[in-house]
Structure 1
C-alpha cells in the first residue's frame, strides 16, 4: 500500500520500473522500455537529490546544515523550490516552513526513526529571520544564521517527480506516469483515473479524479503517524501536528506546486493560495466534511 492517500485505478503505459527512494516506493510507467542509460540517469538524479536534501543520512548537505551555520551551495533546481517556500510561508503566515525539521525530530520523527518524543512541541525557527538565499546560473547559495534542520517534505518529493519527468521527456519519451506514492505526474496517452484514498479507511476511496498531462499530489494525517495524535503535518508556528484537516489533494501543472499546495491547504484557505497559484483541489476535514474547487465538482462520491 502506498504511504499516502492515492490509489491508481487504470494506467495506459505498459512498461514499469519500480524502486525505493527518499523514503517511498516509486514506479515509472512508460509506453516503451527505458534505455539502460535513462535508467542510470534516473538513479543518479534521485541519489543526488537525496545527498543534498535528506535529513536521514549523515553525509547530506542538510545534515551539515544541522551542525553549523554557514553558506551552503545547492543545485540550480533549488531556486524554484526556495521560491515556492518563500511564497508558502508568507501565504500561510509561517505555518509552512522548511525549518520544521527540528520540530519533527523533537516529536520522534528523527534520523533514527525513534518515534519517541523527546520533549513538547517545538516552534520552528523563523524562515526570514534565519535563512537567506541567492541564485545564479551555477546554482543557489543558502545562508543560515544558525544551525537548522531543513525539511523539504512539504514540496521536495513533488519537485523530484518533476525532475524525473523532465529527464524522461529529454530522453524522448512522450507517454509516461511518474508515481512517487502521494505524488503523480502523467503525460501523453490515455488519461489516468485515480481514486482518492479515504484517510480513515485505506480500503475505500472518497472519489475519483482523471489525470491528463497534469500532476496530482496528496497529503494526509493518517500516513507517517505514530503515537497519540502525532503525525508529520506540523504547524511550524507551534511545532504541533494539525488536527482540523485530515487530507488534501491538489491538481496543478507541475508536481512541486501541487505538493506544496497540498501541504498549505492544511493551514490556509484556498482563496488565499489562488491569488498566486492556479490549481484544483479537494480538502477533507477531520469531522468528515469536504470542500473542493469548482472543477472538482462531481469527483467525490455521494
Structure 2
C-alpha cells in the first residue's frame, strides 16, 4: 500500500482559509494560475459568508436592525438549498440562525468566549441562595427548581425563546435573502465542506484549462480578479462527477483537507485515524477512503468554560440554543458519486448527528456514519468504511 505522499507528492497550502487552514494534495504541482484562482475564491467566500469578518454580507445582515434584501453570489444558492434540507430533516435543530446563540454564548467575532449577561436570563447569585444552610434539602430543591423555571422563561437562546429561525425569518429567492429583523447567520455546520467541494470543481476545471492551453496559444488568466466567474464551470464539473455512470477517472487525483474535513479522490485507499475526542494523541478507530468525502465533528475542538450547568461548545441544538452533551464525536462518509456536494453533505450531517438520530437523517440523505457517545459507547452504520474501537 502506497502512502499519501507517494500517491500525491505535491501539497498546496492555504494556511489562513476559514481559520483552520486548507491543504490540497495532488499528483502534479498546481500552476500559479490555479493557486491564484483558488486563493482568490477562498477570499471571496469568506468575504460573503464569514460571520467573523465585519465586511462580510453575513455581518451586514446582523447589523441590519430592520432587515433588508441581501444579494449573495449565485454559487450560494445550493448552500442555502442544503440548509433547507438540513433544517427540515432535523426539525429545526440545525439552523444557520444559530449564529445569534453562538455569539451570546461567547463564540463571537472577537473570540471573547464571554457569555452575554442576557443569554441565560438570571443572576448566578440566586444559586448561592439556593445552597444556603438556612433551607433544608427539600426546600432548597424546590426553590432551585422555581428559579430555574423562571430563568428558562427569560433565556434568549434558541428558536423557542424568540431567536430568528431560518424558515420563519429569512425569505429566500435563489441566492437572495430577505429579512425583516437583524439575523445572525452561521454557516459553520456545512460551510467548510461546501468550500472544499467548490475547490474540487476548480481543480477539475484547471485540468481543462491545461489541456486547452496545450492545444492552443496561452490565453490571459486574469480571472482571479473576478472569482465568481470561475464557479459556474466548477459547479458543472462537480455535478458531472456526481452523475451516476460518470465515473471518477476523468477527474484529477487529489485529497483536499480543510481542518480534517476531507474530500478524497485517489486510486489506492487512504487510511486515516479517528481522533479520540478526549485525547487528541490517541485514536478510537480507523477508516479507509478512496472516492468520498469524510467529515468529523466533536465539541473537544471548540469548547470554553461553563454556564448555567452547561459545558460550552460550538455544537448547539438550534431549537433551545444549548450545547449538546450526550454525543462526544461523529464521523460521516459520503460517496463522491452520490452528490454534487459530498463534503458539504458530510460536514452538515456530522453536525446534525449531535441533534438528530442517524435513522431519521437516513430518510433524507445517503451517508454512512459512526457515533461515539458521551459514555464512550459507539455505534456505526453497516456501510461505514472503517471501525470504531470501544472500551
TM-score (norm 1): 0.93
| Contact residue 282 and residue 293 of structure 1 kept, 8 A | yes
For 1:5-16, what aligned pairs fall within 5 Å after superposition?
A: 10-11=4-5, 12-16=7-11
Residue aligned with 2:284, SS: strand
| Contact residue 10 and residue 193 of structure 1 kept, 8 A | no
Cα offset for 1:81?
Answer: 1.1
Pairing 1:199–2:277 present: yes
| Contact residue 182 and residue 219 of structure 1 kept, 8 A | no
Give the match for residue 364 of structure 2: 276
Pairing 1:96–2:94 present: yes
Cα offset for 1:79?
Answer: 1.5
Q: Residues 250-290 of structure 1, C-alpha deviation per residue, up to 9 Å, x if partnerless? A: 00131000001111111111111111211010111111011
Higher RCO, 1 or 2 (CA under 8 Å, sep at least 6)?
Answer: 1
- 2-structure distance, mates of 1:269, 1:251: 16
Pairing 1:53–2:49 present: yes
Residue aligned with 1:226, SS: strand
**Structure 1: segments with no counterpart, 5+ residues:** 1-8
- 2-structure distance, mates of 1:89, 1:182: 24
| Contact residue 66 and residue 148 of structure 1 kept, 8 A | yes
Residue aligned with 1:296, SS: coil
Cα offset for 1:296?
Answer: 2.3
Give the match for residue 172 of structure 2: 133
Larger helix fraction of residues: 2
Residue aligned with 2:199, SS: helix
Decide whether aligned partners of structure 1 residues 58 and 276 sit closer, same or farther in structure 2, where only a CA change above 3 A counts: same
Give the match for residue 112 of structure 1: 110
Greater Cα shift, 186-195 or 210-219: 186-195
Cα offset for 1:297?
Answer: 7.3
Residue in structure 1 matching 2:252, options 174, 177, 181:
174
Cα offset for 1:298?
Answer: 5.5
- 1-structure distance, mates of 2:269, 2:205: 21
Residue aligned with 1:291, SS: strand
| Contact residue 292 and residue 333 of structure 2 kept, 8 A | yes
Give the match for residue 380 of structure 2: 292
Decide whether aligned partners of structure 1 residues 297 and 209 sit closer, same or farther in structure 2, where only a CA change above 3 A counts: closer
Residue in structure 2 matching 1:248, options 307, 327, 330:
330
Residue aligned with 1:49, SS: helix
TM-score (norm 2): 0.72
Pairing 1:159–2:194 present: yes
- 2-structure distance, mates of 1:35, 1:115: 40
For 1:230-269, what aligned pairs fall within 5 Å after superposition?
A: 230-252=312-334, 253=336, 254-269=342-357
Q: Residues 109-142 of structure 1, C-alpha deviation per residue, up to 9 Å, x if partnerless? A: 001110111133511422211011112xxxx111
Q: Residues 44-82 of structure 1, C-alpha deviation per residue, up to 9 Å, x if partnerless? A: 110000000111111100010001111111122212111
Residue aligned with 1:38, SS: helix
Q: Any runs of at least 4 consecutive aligned residues in structure 1 with deviations exceeding 6 A, and if so which?
A: none
| Contact residue 246 and residue 286 of structure 1 kept, 8 A | yes
**Structure 2: segments with no counterpart, 5+ residues:** 121-156, 208-250, 337-341
| Contact residue 10 and residue 194 of structure 1 kept, 8 A | no
Residue aligned with 1:104, SS: helix
- RMSD, aligned α-carbons: 1.4
